[in-house]
Every structure is written in structure tokens, then in C-alpha cells.
């Protein structure tokens, strides 16, 4: 830690000492000494010099466009997290520097995400970024952040985010892990699970469902139907018609909210008796229950975060509920934890320099406090930016609330069978 802090200062001195005298030794004597004086003065009081400046944290979320509804919830949680940090005294190793959240609306659009990420990074001195909820958007933002050498921490689940990137950190379960959890949950419901997999043809849908397909044989689950669909359809009937003719006894739907509502309603209309696992995405947010109502009861899903996981999560949930009237959903809860991971890194880096924050994030190792709010309660990043302890939590809608039911260590309520 100490070494980190001294490094730039000595480099600074060396630069002034070595290059300048060679060129104009006498004529610029005064300027040279002035430069050295300035440099050493800077080196002598680095902490106080930076303490006055807040630490800029970028937040990229879609607050308009088709994903706006979740994006707005994310922003509320991001603000809450920043307040929690600042009320507790800010970053102590930076003399109590406050966090400053710089929000940017990525408009649920990949092109806009690219330009907005670029604008956010070039227009502000950022120490770290979190975002963007949807994997398709996060993939773009992480590319831009990678090039600009600013660390990005995200709850997005696409496994692609862990490939060829050194500035991207994913503290929560990956899409492939979601798949395994879903398959294991199917075995809890039926001894001979025959699963129909339907998924939206996006980065999120494809990576999640490919994970399901690859892992199914090893888990002893038969996949009888595997079908992508275009997100935002007008009618789920043809799709459910197809599920019906496949003879499946469990349905995995990898979808965002609106499609999933149509799917659940249509399954009911068809009179299909099938265990539905909605995965994550639109399934694990309060709006789902509001829209589907009692039809949602006993539907299963997987999440990378749930509000009943540990006392800290419950505390944050209570505060979020007070502000928004809804429980703290998966992605928003996860990003509160992410903010505290950035805080932990900032404390250890004692610098706002994004590259030092990245270095500190890569050596993060927490098992208590708000930063450790994750299934399993531990966060430590591997070389690919993946949390080595990351795992998903199986959830089920029970009387209007989302209860953790799987695996055993994380279960807070027993699984209801249909």
C-alpha cells in the first residue's frame, strides 16, 4: 500500500531531474528548481491535496428505452449505496473523500452505450464504473472501459465479459452457473425432468441457454425443446403451442419481463401443467408479481443476489423499500454490493487513479460487510475478473415475495412443489 502511494512521486522527480537539465541547464535554472520544488511539495502532501476532491464513480444504466424500468431501479440503488458510503465518512484513506456518482443514460441501446461510455470516460476523471444491467449493453461498455483503462464492475452475467478483459470485474454468478442451478432445481421438482428451453435471441438469452444445453447431460436432465425467439413478441401462443407439442414437464424461459408475462399467462390459458423456471432477468423483479399476480406463485427462478440472503442485505433492502416502496431486486442489490467493493478497493489503493483502483480490485478479498453481500458471502476475483466464490441462488415466488430456496446453504424457505 505504501509503495503504491510513493511510486508516482518518485517517478515524477526522476522525470524532472533527468530530462530537463540535459536540454537547458542554466537558462531555465529557476524554472527547473521551481519544478523540483513543486514536485516535492506535491509528494510531501499527497493525501491532503486529493482529499478535497470527491471520487468520481461512473454509473451506466438505461433509464429510458425498453429497459428503463429496471435501469431506474438501478439508479435508485446506486444513489442509496453512494449515500451509505458518504454518510459513513467517505473513503478514509483519501482523507474522507466523498463519492460522487456520475450517471449516464445508455437508453437501452448498444450504439448509445458506446458513445455514452466514451463520453463519460473522456469527460470526467473516473476512478471506476458500474453498469449496465443488460449483458448486451455491458459487453459494449466494458470494451470501451478496457481501452480507456478504467475498471468496470458489473452484475451482468454473460460469460463473454470474462474473456480477453483485464478491467472488467464480475462479482456474481455467471450465466453458465445460472444454468447449472436451474437444472438442479428441475430435479427437485421431477425425478425425470424433460425440459423445454425457450430463450430470447440476445446476448443474455443465448449465453444462458447455451449453458443449459451444455450442462444438461451431466446433470441428467433431458432437453426436449431448445428454441430462440425474438424478444418483444406480440403473442406467446405459437411458442407455447410448440412447447405443448414437445411433451416437456418443465419449462425454462430465459426472458425479460414483458415476454415472460405473456408466456406465463398463455401457459395458464392452454391449461399446460408445467413447472416454470423463469431464470433471472425480468423474472426476479417486483414488477413481475405486480403484473402476473397470483399466477406467479410457486414459479421458480435463479438470481445472482437476493434480498433475504444475509442481515446486511436485509438492512439495505429495508432502506430501499422505504424509498421506493418495492423490495430490492437482484440487480439493484448486487450493485449496492459492487459499490462497496469499489470502496474497499479505493481504501486500499488510497488513490483515485483508475489503474490503481483496478489493481486493488484484482486483489479484493472480502468475507464480511456490505461488499460481501453475495450468495456464499465471499468475493475474491480470479485473473479473468470472475469471483472465484460466485454462485447463483435459486428463488421462488411465495406469497408475493421472492424467497431463496436453493442451494441448501442459501435457502431461507423450503421449495414449494406445484
Partner 1 sequence: MWETVAQAVINGLLIGGIYALVSIGVTLIFGVVKIVNFAQGEFVMIGMYISFFLSNQFGIDPLLSLLVSMPVLFVFGVLIQHFLIRRVLGPNDMPQIFLTFALSLLLLNLALMLFTANYRTVHTSYSDEALHIGGLYIPVAKLIAFVVAMLLSGALWVFLHVTDLGKAMRAAAQNRDVAMLMGINPNRVFCVALGIALALAGAAGSLLMPFYSAYPFVGQVFVLMAFVAVVLGTLGNVIGALIASLMMGIAESLGIQYVGADSGLIVVFAMLLLTLAFKPTGLGGGKAR
What does the binding site for partner 1 look like in residue numbers (CB under 8 A)?
64-66, 68-69, 72, 198, 201, 227-230, 232-235, 237-239, 241-242, 245, 257-258, 261-262, 265-266, 268-271, 287, 291-293, 295
Q: Which helix (H) or strand (E) holds 393?
A: strand 393-398
In terms of CB distance, is 203 or 292 closer to partner 1?
292
In terms of CB distance, is 111 or 201 closer to partner 1?
201
Residues whose CB is less than 8 angstroms from the CB of residue 332 and which lie 6 or more positions away in sequence, other chains included: 73, 74, 76, 77, 320
Q: Say how many C-beta atoms besides its own lie within 10 A of residue 313's C-beta.
A: 22
Q: Shortest approach of partner 1 to residue 220 CB, angstroms?
A: 26
In terms of CB distance, is 265 or 380 closer to partner 1?
265
Residue linked to cell 426436449: 224
In terms of CB distance, is 225 or 337 closer to partner 1?
225
Separation of alpha carbons 412 and 229, rounded Å: 34
Residue linked to cell 466514451: 118
Q: Shortest approach of partner 1 to residue 202 CB, angstroms?
A: 10
Separation of alpha carbons 286 and 170, rounded Å: 24
Q: Shortest approach of partner 1 to residue 280 CB, angstroms?
A: 17
Q: Shortest approach of partner 1 to residue 190 CB, angstroms?
A: 24
Separation of alpha carbons 120 and 60, rounded Å: 9
Q: Shortest approach of partner 1 to residue 105 CB, angstroms?
A: 12
Separation of alpha carbons 311 and 372, rounded Å: 11
Nearest Cα to Cα of residue 174 among 386, 411, 406, 26: 386
Q: Shortest approach of partner 1 to residue 67 CB, angstroms?
A: 8
In terms of CB distance, is 55 or 225 closer to partner 1?
225
- Residues 155 and 386: beta-carbon distance below 8 Å: no
Bridge partners (DSSP) of residue 283 are none
In terms of CB distance, is 262 or 342 closer to partner 1?
262
Amino acid at each position: 500500500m505504501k509503495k503504491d502511494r510513493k511510486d508516482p512521486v518518485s517517478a515524477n522527480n526522476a522525470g524532472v531531474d533527468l530530462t530537463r537539465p540535459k536540454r537547458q541547464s542554466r537558462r531555465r535554472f529557476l524554472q527547473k528548481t521551481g519544478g523540483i520544488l513543486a514536485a516535492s511539495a506535491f509528494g510531501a502532501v499527497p493525501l491532503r491535496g486529493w482529499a478535497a476532491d470527491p471520487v468520481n464513480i461512473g454509473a451506466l444504466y438505461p433509464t429510458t428505452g425498453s429497459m428503463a424500468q429496471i435501469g431506474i431501479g438501478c439508479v435508485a440503488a446506486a444513489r442509496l449505496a453512494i449515500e451509505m458510503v458518504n454518510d459513513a465518512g467517505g473513503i478514509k484513506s483519501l482523507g474522507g473523500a466523498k463519492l460522487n456518482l456520475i450517471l449516464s443514460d445508455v437508453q437501452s441501446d448498444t450504439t448509445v452505450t458506446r458513445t455514452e461510455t466514451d463520453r463519460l470516460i473522456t469527460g470526467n476523471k473516473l476512478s471506476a464504473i458500474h453498469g449496465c444491467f443488460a449483458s448486451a449493453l455491458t459487453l459494449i461498455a466494458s470494451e470501451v472501459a478496457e481501452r480507456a483503462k478504467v475498471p468496470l464492475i458489473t452484475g451482468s452475467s454473460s460469460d463473454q465479459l470474462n474473456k480477453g478483459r483485464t478491467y472488467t470485474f464480475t462479482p456474481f454468478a455467471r450465466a453458465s452457473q445460472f444454468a447449472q442451478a436451474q437444472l438442479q432445481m428441475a430435479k427437485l421438482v421431477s425425478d425425470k425432468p424433460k425440459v423445454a428451453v425457450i430463450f430470447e435471441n440476445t446476448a443474455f438469452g443465448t449465453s444462458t441457454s447455451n449453458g443449459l444445453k451444455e450442462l444438461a447431460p451431466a446433470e441428467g436432465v433431458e432437453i426436449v425443446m431448445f428454441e430462440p425467439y425474438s424478444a418483444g413478441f406480440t403473442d406467446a401462443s405459437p411458442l407455447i403451442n410448440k412447447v405443448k407439442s414437445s411433451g416437456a414437464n418443465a419449462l425454462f424461459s430465459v426472458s425479460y419481463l414483458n415476454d415472460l408475462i405473456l408466456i406465463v399467462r398463455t401457459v395458464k390459458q392452454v391449461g399446460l401443467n408445467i413447472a416454470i423456471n423463469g431464470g433471472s432477468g425480468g423474472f426476479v423483479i417486483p414488477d413481475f408479481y405486480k403484473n402476473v399476480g397470483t399466477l406467479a406463485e410457486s414459479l421458480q427462478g435463479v438470481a445472482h443476489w437476493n434480498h433475504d440472503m444475509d442481515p446486511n442485505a436485509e438492512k439495505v433492502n429495508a432502506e430501499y423499500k422505504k424509498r421506493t416502496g418495492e423490495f430490492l431486486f437482484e440487480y439493484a442489490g448486487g450493485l449496492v454490493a459492487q459499490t462497496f467493493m469499489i470502496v474497499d478497493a479505493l481504501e486500499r489503493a488510497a488513490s483515485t487513479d483508475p489503474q490503481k483502483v483496478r489493481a486493488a480490485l484484482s486483489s479484493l478479498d472480502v468475507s464480511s460487510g456490505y461488499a460481501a453481500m453475495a450468495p456464499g458471502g465471499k468475493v475474491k476475483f480470479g485473473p479473468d475478473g470472475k469471483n472465484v466464490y460466485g454462485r447463483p441462488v435459486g428463488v421462488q415466488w411465495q406469497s408475493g415475495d421472492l424467497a431463496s430456496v436453493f442451494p441448501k446453504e442459501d435457502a431461507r424457505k423450503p421449495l414449494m412443489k406445484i
